[in-house]
Amino acid sequence: MTDYYDRAQALEARQREAALAAHRAGHAGAGQDHCEDCDGEIPVPRRAAVPGCTRCVACQARHEQRRSRWPMNTTN
């Protein structure tokens, strides 16, 4: 029985996320559209999924790897 409600809740959350993503995508032009590390274009779906992102997927992964190597430097 709880399964049914869990699924309904998950579906509602997904639909809300999709609506938010669509809303953000409509405003994506105002954000940063080029990666601050490699200056490559950040794809619109990524900008919609990660509002305020400043790096492409590859550079963000490198950035997070760099940070995880020095756990002392996690203040931001």
The residues of the shown chain that bind Zn ion, judged by CB under 5 A, are: 35, 37-38, 40, 56, 59
- Round to whole Å and give the CA distance between 34 and 38: 8
- Closer Cβ to Zn ion, 26 or 40, answer by number: 40
**Shortest distance, position 72 Cβ to Zn ion, whole Å:** 25
What's the gap between Cα 29 and its chain centre? 16
- Round to whole Å and give the CA distance between 44 and 29: 9
- Closer Cβ to Zn ion, 25 or 59, answer by number: 59
**Shortest distance, position 21 Cβ to Zn ion, whole Å:** 21
- Round to whole Å and give the CA distance between 66 and 53: 17
- Closer Cβ to Zn ion, 12 or 41, answer by number: 41
